[in-house]
Amino acid sequence: MSNPCNDQFSLSIKPQLLSWLQKAKRASKGRFVVYSAVFGVLEAIREHGWPIARSYYVSKGNQIRMNKHKFEKVLTRALGPKRTALLKVPREGGRTTRSTPAVADKFVDWLKSVFPPELDSETAKDYADCLELFASEDFEQFMLSQAGISVPKPSPQFPLSEFVQKIIEKAGNKRGAVIHHLVGAKLAIRLGQSDELEPRPYTAADKQIDVPGDYWYRNTAFHVTAAPSGELLKKCQDNLAKGWRVWIITLREGVETARILAKDLDAKLAKNIQVVSVPEFVGQNLEEIGAFASDNIAQQAERLLQEYNDRIDKAEDGDPTLKIIFGS
């Protein structure tokens, strides 16, 4: 099979697998146990084919044939080394938990119910590859839900500016990096992808002396900051002198600070610096893109998070503590 994960069966089994994983995690005391059991079975199928004997995935000591090294090997094959390195796999990988073999047995029973009756071993190995990919992606999302930023999906009546504010509040001491990439995501959605708006690491963006701002587009420089400073205002002053239009995008509580600093530096030039809060800059523009329709609110929020998380993957090596997901 040239591309087994795109065939009809693999695509149809993905939601069934995710549903099984959710139920199994709710029923299990340790959620790593479920992934360890699933990966143990799938690795056995990849090596020995189908149907699979219990001795191939459970040892004589009644432990699942899985450990941290094997667990990480599965993740690396599915997600790549950078994304895997950011996921903290337990030292034993769920191997020594007594309930793991029982979960593995239930998973094998489930596979018997969804695999075609006359499935040959080679095709089963292809399916195992796909199931490992789907389960690895689910494991990554599970880890993000533990380490990342979880926000409720906005209702149709909820302003997107307040949705963005909620993200910032949940970000805590990570808010500098979060607002940096939220603004980048919004600009990319509104203006399209370009070299000027490409994802840049938070620690390197506006600190480079050879760039006009965190982002720039045509003749406008955008400075994103959680704490406006005199040093930033001097850079804005230099940009204005070079013919740039200047925006400062900051936290709501930083807007007045930025305006005062601008006036203290040069009251005349201060009138040429646009200062706006991140929630209003990001949220209001997405409302416009969604044509101010209430049934587009959730869609625009999803679009923002998808672009934002893509930028975290590219600029911050997929740091799970910076990822944003919908939750409670």
Band of residue 268 on the pLDDT scale cut at 50, 70, 90: confident
- In this predicted structure, the answer to whether residue 29 has a pLDDT above a threshold of 90 is no
pLDDT of residue 1: 39
- Cα separation, 232 vs 64, whole angstroms: 56
In the chain, pLDDT over 90 holds for what percent of residues? 60
- In this predicted structure, the answer to whether residue 108 has a pLDDT above a threshold of 90 is yes
- Segments making up each domain of the chain, as ranges: 4-147, 151-326
- CA–centroid distance for 178 within its chain: 12
**Angle value at C-alpha 250, between 284 and 187, nearest 5 degrees:** 50
Comparing 100-114, 213-227, 249-263, 280-294, the range with the smallest average pLDDT is: 280-294
- In this predicted structure, the answer to whether residue 307 has a pLDDT above a threshold of 90 is yes
**DSSP 8-class letter at 152:** P
pLDDT of residue 40: 96
- In this predicted structure, the answer to whether residue 90 has a pLDDT above a threshold of 70 is no
Question: For tokens 């599965």, what's the residue?
Answer: 74
More confident residue, 87 or 246: 246
Band of residue 256 on the pLDDT scale cut at 50, 70, 90: very high
In whole numbers, what is the pLDDT of the chain averaged over residues? 88
Q: Which of 283, 272, 280, 210 is nearest to 241 (CA)?
A: 272
Band of residue 265 on the pLDDT scale cut at 50, 70, 90: confident
Task: From residue 35, give the alpha-carbon distance in Å to each of 16, 18, 86, 246.
Answer: 15, 11, 17, 49
Per-residue burial over 8-46, b = 16 or more CB atoms within 10 Å of its CB, e = otherwise: ebbeebbeebeebbeebbeebeebbbbbbbbbbbbbbbb
In tens, the pLDDT along 52-81 reads 999 999 998 889 999 889 999 999 999 999
- In this predicted structure, the answer to whether residue 2 has a pLDDT above a threshold of 50 is no
More confident residue, 144 or 166: 166
Upstream peptide bond of 201 is cis (omega within 30 degrees of 0)? no
Q: Which two tokens stand for residue 174?
A: 């990570």
- CA–centroid distance for 92 within its chain: 26
More confident residue, 148 or 322: 322
pLDDT of residue 8: 86
